[in-house]
Amino acid sequence: MLNSLILLPDKYCYQAPADLGLWAEEVTFPNAQGQPLQGLFCQQSPPGPCHSETPTVLFCPGTSGNLSSHLHYIELLCRAGLAVLGFDYTGFGQSAGAASLHSLVTDALGAGDFLQRAKKVERFGIFGVSIGANVALMAATLRLEAIRGVAVEGLALQREIVRGILTEGSMGPRSIATITYNGILQPPRAAHILNRIRLGGWLAEAFSWVGATLFPFQAKDPHRHASALEDVPVFFIHGVEDPLLPCEATLQVYETKPGAKRLWLIPGVGHTQEPALAQDAEYAAQLGNFFHGVLHSSPPSTSHMPPMTCEVIAQGSGTFALRVYNPGPPGLALTTMISNKAVDFQTVWVHERADIPCIAGSERCLASCLRLFEVSGCGDVAQVRLTARGRRYQEVFQSHIRALSKTLHEGRLLDLDPLLQAMPEARPEAPFDFFLGLYCVQMMRRTQHKLPHLARAAAEAFTRYWHYGTPDGHHHTQPTPWDLASAILGKHVSPSRAAPGRDP
């Protein structure tokens, strides 16, 4: 039951690396039971004579769908000059077996063993998102000699998830009440309400303890795994506005981690996949800077710039200041200060050193700083630069995609009708056509039998947007979302019959 509720795998081919301009080699390796797992070894261009010197990262996807619905994260890594092995867990995509929480970590270990054995990669990094973040963190503790750096987006704490659902109706923990960014108070964070029945006190505590104890997932306690990575740098990433898995979980694990570590709480960004839309260039630059550094490779761009550091300085009773140190060229830093259930973000231009004005608090604050790479201007006029994709997402698509996500997660299927009516008529540019089409697939699957009129509306919208994964492509035996749309509409539909839209 837990496997079906949490993992949500499917067999559809959503997207191919070629759709994102990537070179890829299809690979196969065994899981712990000897069943074949499918993967993609990707680079931005075909490997040359020195391809073995390209730094390599193992990518652990999240739940729902399969690897082909997570390729935008692989594209970010490849854009940063890295080779990437992505794979489907047991029972996902074209990998054999039945999907299980028990096998996620061992599947990742098998992928790492494949890199060493077949690709002759002795040292590599690992990057995971959502449940894949927990998987990546634990896998690193079991392969300390091979995995030299870990990046994680969207860590989760199982006990806090259960406690939050029982007491607040949404996944926990949620302790941050106030967020400011460059002195401007941000709107309250939204949360997906997954449970309308509330429990409190000892009953909720008992259920959360039992639920976490019995939860059959090896990587459910990232605190323990982070503590074991003293000699392995970890890059912690989380969208501040994540309505599903709150960023407080990542903060807790970040505090636990000894040794080298980085923190990037991304203001204005929500759950997994949204960073790939809203912060695509900065995300690629951050991944490139981190992994090229830990793997001691020659970076392709400004990724070689050393990280900034900071320290909290007590100014008196209950007041603190933040001092930022910059060992590299002048640049813009994102500083994060958490105190008294509040988080304050500031961007500041740093030459060799900069002091952030005092903040007040009853206890010492947690602070971090991060060099930003996608910046326009310098000095007092420096600011974060968004790509055209990032601006388009924030201005046009963010509110609609968030509304779709919330409605689906909360199971309010009847509320999908007005959202479907508000979908654009013409096909938008890539990658928004892909993500809107992906939500259409989720709507079709959820409403196919319960609300056929909504499923049909979603299928019609899907045919307007989708031009990926044709049934006549390379994977002719693998189902695509076109098969689902055809079944719902009662006729064969394919990219050649889709309504014309604006070219991406």
Which of the four pLDDT bands, split at 50, 70 and 90, describes residue 156? very high
Domain 2-157+221-296 has CATH 3.40.50.1820: yes
Query: Is residue 501 predicted with pLDDT exceeding 90?
Result: no
Q: Which CATH class is domain 309-384?
A: mainly beta
Which of the four pLDDT bands, split at 50, 70 and 90, describes residue 282? very high
Whether 400 contacts 422, CB under 8 Å: yes
Residue 409 carries which side chain, given as an amino acid letter? H
Alpha-carbon distance of 33 to 103, in angstroms, equals: 9
> What are the pLDDT digits (tens) for 97-138?
999 999 999 999 999 999 999 999 999 999 999 999 999 999
Query: Is residue 476 predicted with pLDDT exceeding 70?
Result: no
Give all strands (DSSP E) within 340-429, no chain letters: 342-350, 353-360, 366-371, 375-376, 383-384
Alpha-carbon distance of 176 to 336, in angstroms, equals: 13
Query: Is residue 358 predicted with pLDDT exceeding 90?
Result: no
All residues at 6 or more sequence positions from 290 whose CB lies less than 8 Å from its CB, including other chains: 125, 149, 151, 233, 235, 262
Angle at 228 between CA 120 and CA 121, to 5 degrees: 5
> What are the pLDDT digits (tens) for 55-102?
999 999 999 999 999 999 999 999 999 999 999 999 999 999 999 999
Per-residue model confidence (pLDDT) at position 141: 98
Per-residue model confidence (pLDDT) at position 497: 45
Per-residue model confidence (pLDDT) at position 470: 57
Whether 69 contacts 438, CB under 8 Å: yes
Which of the four pLDDT bands, split at 50, 70 and 90, describes residue 361? low
All residues at 6 or more sequence positions from 437 whose CB lies less than 8 Å from its CB, including other chains: 462, 465, 466, 468, 481
> What are the pLDDT digits (tens) for 8-55?
999 999 999 999 999 999 999 999 999 999 999 999 988 876 556 799
Which of the four pLDDT bands, split at 50, 70 and 90, describes residue 222? very high
Alpha-carbon distance of 254 to 411, in angstroms, equals: 32
**Helical H runs in 40-183?**
71-79, 104-118, 131-142, 158-167
Structure letter (DSSP) for residue 268: T
Per-residue model confidence (pLDDT) at position 500: 40
DSSP three-state, residue 176: coil
Whether 83 contacts 48, CB under 8 Å: no
Question: 116-121, long-range: CB within 8 Å, 24+ apart, which pairs?
Answer: 116/146, 118/27, 118/29, 119/41, 119/52, 119/56, 119/85, 120/52, 121/52, 121/56
Q: What pTM did the predictor assign?
A: 0.95
> What are the pLDDT digits (tens) for 165-188?
999 999 999 999 999 999 999 999
Alpha-carbon distance of 72 to 188, in angstroms, equals: 29
The more confidently predicted of residues 439 and 356 is: 439
How do the domains of the chain map onto residue ranges?
A: 2-157+221-296, 309-384, 388-497
Per-residue model confidence (pLDDT) at position 478: 82
Phi first, then psi, for residue 155 (nearest 5°) are -60, 155
Q: State percent of the chain over pLDDT 70.
A: 93
**Helical H runs in 257-358?**
274-278, 280-294
Per-residue model confidence (pLDDT) at position 51: 55
Which of the four pLDDT bands, split at 50, 70 and 90, describes residue 302? low
Over residues 159-168, mean pLDDT: 94
Per-residue model confidence (pLDDT) at position 362: 56
Over residues 245-256, mean pLDDT: 96
